[in-house]
Amino acid sequence: MNYTVVLPAAGSGKRMKANKNKLLLELFDKPIFLYTLEVFQQDPACEAIWLAVKEEERQIIDQYVTKYKITKVHGYADGGMERQDSVRACLEAIPPCGVVLVHDAARPFISQDVITRLVETAKACGAAIAAVPVKDTIKKADNGIITETVDRNALWMVQTPQAFTYELILKAAKAAVEDGFLGTDEAMLVERLNHPVQIVESTYENVKMTTPEDLIYGKAILESQIQEGQR
Ligand code: C5P
């Protein structure tokens, strides 16, 4: 089952303390976002890649795309103030298609198997998201005093990719902007339409490069993927 992937890449480096877009930081010899792009370039089911980028970074990003022969990049949309705005700009720019995958450019270690299962599930159910079971005990607290220990058997840590049928995610994105609703992922926009969202179990390797220590984990994951012949 073929799909189009939308990659928001227009963030800043605030939590990374990078003074620039963290996606341009290098892991070994390459900027982070290229590792993400290469996963989709190599997936035969990926028909097109669309990126949301900051206007002032479009040229540098496009130069990397050309240099690393990422031929599936079909276009760019202007990134917005919030991640949700960046994703919506891409969704409005892409031609109608079957399944759309939304994936943070800052998550370079996504596995091919998870992508395939997400696309199949979205085709069958309309909406599917990658997530992993919570490992730690989770508690709620008020002013530092525990009020509740949450049953972690029901808890999932949600990641991207998140996969949807094109009509559903476009409708959800438009409804959110009309209602002034800001979510932290695309699934929330679909949930508010009362459409079920199916979890697809992902891997703990699919971390987002967010804070400086993530670069240390990132290098270790990359090394193990190279050793296992996945890169
Ligand atoms: O900041 P965070 O790591 O949560 O961002 C997740 C992804 O969304 C990153 O790939 C980032 O570049 C992108 N983003 C965006 N537009 C924004 C904020 C974040 O495209 N306004």
52: Cβ below 6 Å to ligand 1? yes
pLDDT category, 56, cuts 50, 70, 90? very high
185 lines ligand 1 (CB under 6 A): no
**pLDDT at 47 (0 to 100):** 98
| Higher per-residue pLDDT: 228 or 89 | 89
Give the end-to-end CA distance of the chain in Å, rounded to a whole number.
23
* 106 Cα nearest atom in ligand 1: 10
Question: Is the distance from the beta carbon of residue 110 to the nearest atom of ligand 1 less than 6 Å?
Answer: no
- Residue 91: other Cβ atoms inside 10 A: 23
The model's pLDDT over 25-45, given as tens digits with 9 standing for 90+, comes to 999 989 999 999 999 999 999
What is the whole-number distance in angstroms between the Cα of residue 78 and the centre of ligand 1? 13
Residue 1 has pLDDT above 90, yes or no: no
Once rounded to an integer, what is the mean pLDDT over residues 187-201?
98
* Tokens 């709620």 -> residue: 140
Minimum mean pLDDT among 7-16, 73-82, 187-196: which range?
A: 7-16
pLDDT one-digit tens code per residue, 129-141? 999 999 999 999 9
d(C-alpha 115, C-alpha 203), whole Å: 11
Tell me, using a 6 A CB cutoff, whether residue 9 lines ligand 1. Answer: yes
Give mean pLDDT, residues 79-88: 97
Interval 171-197 mean pLDDT: 98
Distance 167 CA to ligand 1 centre (A): 23
Q: Cα of 149 to ligand 1 centre, how many Å?
A: 31
* pLDDT value of position 231: 85
112: domain range?
3-227
* CATH number of the domain that residue 63 is part of: 3.90.550.10
Ligand 1 contacts CB of residue 102 (under 6 A): no
Q: Number of folded domains in the chain?
A: 1
Confidence check: pLDDT of 229 > 90: no
Contact 224, 230 (CB under 8 A): no
Q: How far is the CA of 11 from the centre of ligand 1 (A)?
A: 4
